Structure 1
Amino acid sequence: MKTTSSPRLLNRNDVKTLSLSSLGGTLEFYDFIIFVFFAQTIAHLFYPETLDPLWSALNTYGTFAAGYFARPLGGIVMAHFGDKNGRKNMFMLSILLMVIPTFLMGILPTYESIGYFAPVILLLIRIFQGIAIGGELPGAWVFVCEHTPKNRLGFSIGVLTSCVVGGILLGSIVAFFINAIFDTAQIMQYAWRIPFLLGGVFGIISIFLRRYLQETPIFQEMKKSKSLAKIPIQEVFKTSKTSIITSMFSTWVLTGCIIVLVLLVPNFMSHKLQVPQTQIILIQMLTIFSLIIGCILSGSLADKIGVSRAYIVFSIAFSIVALIFFYALYGDYSNRVIFIWYVIAGFFGGVMNFTPLTMVSIFPPNIRFSGLSFSYNLSYAIFGGLAPILVVSLNAYNSILVGYYLAFLGIIGVGVGIFLHFFKKYKQTL
């Protein structure tokens, strides 16, 4: 249903909070995601050359997945203190935990220099990054939610989510210029380190930006009225089991939009189409930009017709377009047609915006951070962590199955939207 809140435009403080939170999220998510743009180079440098190419790829994506498996730990701990001591403090901590490992990645010796210590240290770096990002994104969603009028919540969450996706776009831009400026030998020798060193600089900028943020008025009011939960996660399990399950299914949909559609599919396209890597990166950049637009427009649509209805519309479209794209990719179609459908699929990948929009609405304020963070990070650890291995395996068996997997996630989105529409507990807000 539509919100019954009195209409209000975003004021100057709202815009400032949204802008600083979004830009900081862009820079921090870049730090976490830049790894995947150089996955093939990392596989060559950090694992023995005698490994079968498939096993090398699985090891590299497994290391990437380790960051996702570590997210619940960071998310639960930081969310606990976020619900107890304030949202802003955890915002600052998550950046510090991200900056140091990213910089270390830029100076890490390879397998040729230190042998098996290289992949072990690489794994530890990804774990620390996972802990950091586990508190970052849930904290950002809660922070913006509690600074935003309800009738603009969809748009505001859409802007924040799109800026986080912008971190992927920033990573692809950096990857494009690295591939354009340096040849393969130079990238393998030293240029692959540049994006990670840049990430350390971006992290310092994020810390500076967030010094200007203020604690959310909702948390300040809860603290003043002494309505904070003593053990937030315990209260989550006691009162919000249905919300946890709903959030986990919705997060599963989000993992397909980011990990599969945006991060992994370009690698499949590169092998299938046999076009220059710079061309693949360019179309990936355009698709990410399309996804950014999709997140913002999906949020605006939710403000007009309600979250549940907008969720259903975008989910149906995502399923259909994802299948069309994969049939085009592995059928007898021109590269131009394939690229057009990929960009369209990216736009409807904006269905991912309904995940945070749903979660910030269905958990009570005093356990919002803990409930959202636990559900989101646990689901991302399971479905996001296993996605690279699952998709690489599906692609090796029958490439079109990856398209059916994305269509299946769209159907899950439809189910969540229908549930939210008819479940009485959520009907007033969604």
Structure 2
Amino acid sequence: MSAPTTGTTPKKDAPSPGRIITAACVGNALEWYDIAVYSYFATYLSKVFFADDDPALSLFLTLGTFGVSFLIRPVGALVLGSYADRAGRKAALTWSIGLMAVGTLMICVMPSYAAIGAVAPVGILVARLVQGFAAGGEFGSATALMVEHMPNRRGFAASWQFTSQAASTLLAALLGTVLTSTLSEEQLGSWGFRIPFAVGLLVAPVGLYIRRNVPEPPATRDTEPAHAPVRTLLREHKAGVLLTIGLLAVTTCLNYLITYIPTYATKTLGLPDSTGFVAALAGGLVLLAVTSVAGHFSDRVGQIALMVPAAGAVLLLIYPMFALLVSAPSLALLIGVVMVMALCKACYYGPMGALMAGIFPTGTRATGMAVGYNIGVTVFGGFTPMIAAWLLDATGQQAAPAYWVALAAVASLSSLFVLRRRATRPR
């Protein structure tokens, strides 16, 4: 005779928090690792895959390809986000990490411009488009998976999305530091720049295995799947999408500015190649240490209470920091500026996922977060390196990238104030 069961008996398939977080974050880590590697090694990519008659134009085209690939992210958000709301979070996450691995493999093995001509830059663009489409559905599905499995610790759970980004950016910066310090310019340009992309490929098989073996969250198992999440989102939650875009502005802009630092350090400040990677490494350590702590703390005091001061600090400090850096460029000062940016970003980033998840109901959560997130990342993220380069050229001011970050901070503060008014408004 089988033993009687009670309502308190745990389900056999209930996963541990660590398993949930790992399954959700592994694809996100691969996405941001690829983004960081592409940005860090943009100078070498421009020489290998783009015509090198004009080095400045080649670099601009390389950064432009980086930015254009973000235009497809909202499409991926609609397709994979709605798929996650209809078929489940796990199914969408399995597709996204598989597609990201395909894009990474293409960049890793692509022949040079000297070998295949114009096919090389077109191939790099296609690879980035595949990665962008896959990444479009990653954030919403992965964040929904975590907050729905851990509803009482949603701030802490969602913060691991951004902690994993910090870890992947840190790994990319570490590899960049090692490679630029040990390999010659010729070695880096011929084969050394491919090593970080090959390392990224190692994550994909592990991520696929983990994601295929994590159960759907109770919120989706107990709720009837949404039949038309995109239509419902556009009809009932347009304001939520706009608020999500605004929330992302300052932190996304900061993130991509940090990934642009190695190029900025060498091209604008005239510092050695390894200097920018060391600074990015220091920033990654701050993000890794602080982001999940901020997410945990936000479960006690509230997400907005942490995010407003962080965005305000960015608005007030970003231009003075860049002006100081331009006036006396050095490794120590560059590290200090990047670490302050990373600290503000971590305090803002950690609570943000939980705040965004609360904007949308379960039936459209993955779609809503994916669409808002990827439009925000496209506007304030993917084109940030190119906008920074354009501002430097158009204004002639070496501190000009700070203007774009300040504008993003204003957009984020505006969204936060609207959400705070919503929270205090009587129902």
Same fold, TM exceeding 0.5? yes
1:373 — aligned with what? 370
Give the conservation status (yes or no) of the 8 Å contact 2:24–2:143: no
Which shifted more, 327-336 or 155-164? 327-336
Give the conservation status (yes or no) of the 8 Å contact 1:312–1:414: yes
Q: CA deviation at 1:273?
A: 4.1
Normalised to the residue count of structure 2, the TM-score between the two structures is: 0.90
Distance 1:201 1:210, change over 3 A: same
1:8 — aligned with what? none
Separation of aligned partners in 2, 1:185 and 1:427:
65
Separation of aligned partners in 1, 2:329 and 2:118:
44
Deviation digits for residues 392-423 of structure 1 (CA, Å, limit 9, x no counterpart): 11122222221132223223222222111112
Separation of aligned partners in 2, 1:338 and 1:74:
36
Which 5+ residue runs of structure 2 have no aligned equivalent? 1-13
2:309 — aligned with what? 313
Normalised to the residue count of structure 1, the TM-score between the two structures is: 0.90
Separation of aligned partners in 1, 2:319 and 2:169:
23
1:129 — aligned with what? 131
1:235 — aligned with what? 232
Separation of aligned partners in 2, 1:424 and 1:195:
44
Separation of aligned partners in 2, 1:62 and 1:271:
17
Q: CA deviation at 1:99?
A: 1.0
Give the conservation status (yes or no) of the 8 Å contact 1:255–1:380: yes
Q: CA deviation at 1:59?
A: 0.3
Distance 1:412 1:37, change over 3 A: same
Distance 1:100 1:23, change over 3 A: closer
Q: CA deviation at 1:57?
A: 1.6
**Which amino acid letter does the alignment assign opposite residue 144 of structure 2?**
V
2:99 — aligned with what? 97
Give the conservation status (yes or no) of the 8 Å contact 1:362–1:426: no
Distance 1:286 1:388, change over 3 A: same
Query: SS of 2:16's equivalent?
Result: helix
Match among 230, 237, 256 for residue 253 of structure 2: 256
Match among 26, 30, 35 for residue 29 of structure 2: 26
**Which amino acid letter does the alignment assign opposite residue 119 of structure 2?**
F
Give the conservation status (yes or no) of the 8 Å contact 1:172–1:284: yes
Aligned length: 411
Give the conservation status (yes or no) of the 8 Å contact 2:159–2:349: no
Which structure 2 residues correspond to residues 95-244 of structure 1 after superposition, within 5 A?
95-150=97-152, 152-222=153-223, 226=224, 228-244=225-241
Give the conservation status (yes or no) of the 8 Å contact 1:28–1:202: no
Q: CA deviation at 1:230?
A: 1.6
Root-mean-square deviation (CA, aligned residues, Å) is 2.1
Match among 341, 358, 361 for residue 337 of structure 2: 341
Q: Is 1:328 paired with 2:324?
A: yes
Separation of aligned partners in 2, 1:289 and 1:45:
31
1:87 — aligned with what? 89
Separation of aligned partners in 1, 2:425 and 2:321:
34
Q: CA deviation at 1:335?
A: 4.2
Give the conservation status (yes or no) of the 8 Å contact 1:298–1:314: no
**Which amino acid letter does the alignment assign opposite residue 267 of structure 2?**
H
Separation of aligned partners in 2, 1:91 and 1:104:
20
Which shifted more, 331-340 or 133-142? 331-340
Which 5+ residue runs of structure 1 have no aligned equivalent? 1-10
Q: CA deviation at 1:384?
A: 2.4
Distance 1:411 1:383, change over 3 A: closer
Separation of aligned partners in 2, 1:73 and 1:84:
16
Deviation digits for residues 31-51 of structure 1 (CA, Å, limit 9, x no counterpart): 343211211011111122212
Q: Is 1:417 paired with 2:412?
A: no
**Which amino acid letter does the alignment assign opposite residue 403 of structure 2?**
Y
**Which amino acid letter does the alignment assign opposite residue 402 of structure 1?**
P
Match among 279, 287, 295 for residue 299 of structure 1: 295
Match among 391, 397, 402 for residue 388 of structure 2: 391
**Which amino acid letter does the alignment assign opposite residue 28 of structure 2?**
G
1:49 — aligned with what? 52
Q: CA deviation at 1:123?
A: 0.7
Q: CA deviation at 1:121?
A: 0.9
Q: CA deviation at 1:12?
A: 7.0
Percent identity at matched positions?
Answer: 23
Q: CA deviation at 1:365?
A: 0.5
Separation of aligned partners in 2, 1:372 and 1:20:
18
Q: Is 1:359 paired with 2:356?
A: yes
Distance 1:128 1:333, change over 3 A: closer
Separation of aligned partners in 2, 1:58 and 1:334:
25
Query: SS of 1:70's equivalent?
Result: helix
Q: CA deviation at 1:25?
A: 2.8
Give the conservation status (yes or no) of the 8 Å contact 2:284–2:342: yes
Which shifted more, 24-33 or 169-178? 24-33
Match among 57, 62, 78 for residue 60 of structure 1: 62
Query: SS of 2:239's equivalent?
Result: helix
Query: SS of 1:400's equivalent?
Result: coil
Distance 1:337 1:29, change over 3 A: closer
Deviation digits for residues 5-46 of structure 1 (CA, Å, limit 9, x no counterpart): xxxxxx972232113323443234323432112110111111
